[in-house]
Amino acid sequence: MSVNRRRTTNTIEVNFLAGWLVIVFLIGLCGLFFVYLKNQQHAVGNQSRLIEASIQEEEARDEALKAKITSLTSRGALQRRLDDGYISLQPIRDTAIARITPPAPAEVDGVLRTALSDPESRFGPGAPQRSVNR
């Protein structure tokens, strides 16, 4: 009896195996990228919570300082400081007072003329800038 005693071998198709390895590698890479993004999201969330807490602390501190400024500049507080001699009031000197005289009318009818409506005025849109005295 002459029986073929060759063993049958299971063949592995390299193309099929390489395709599946590439697909598995890409899926693994996408998974790692997803985990990385989730970690970044949590880190940024923690940072934003810390920043929001510091902003709230600064706003509370600002409100406290505004209340303190209001209490220190109230009339009662200023009167107490004046009575204690911490601050003193000085009268305004006559030389420090600016007195503004009313402008004289340009015409007899009492109408004030502006620089734009007066053709002989040296002020206006056509006048050179160096001739304007302020």
Distance CA 58, CA 50 (A): 12
Residue 20, pLDDT above cutoff 80: yes
Distance CA 72, CA 104 (A): 46
Q: Mind listing the pLDDT tens digit for each residue in 43-60?
A: 999 999 999 999 999 999
User: Side-chain half-sphere of 130: how many Cα atoms within 13 Å?
Assistant: 0
Contact in structure between 102 and 110 (CB atoms under 8 Å)? no
- pLDDT, tens only, 96-121: 888 787 766 666 666 665 655 545 55
Percent of the chain surpassing pLDDT 90: 40
Residue 122 has pLDDT above 70, yes or no: no
Closest to 122 in 3D by CA, of 112, 110, 111, 134: 134
How many Å apart are CA 132 and CA 134, to the nearest integer? 6
Q: N- to C-terminal Cα distance for the chain?
A: 130
CA 79-83-89 angle, to 5 degrees, is 75
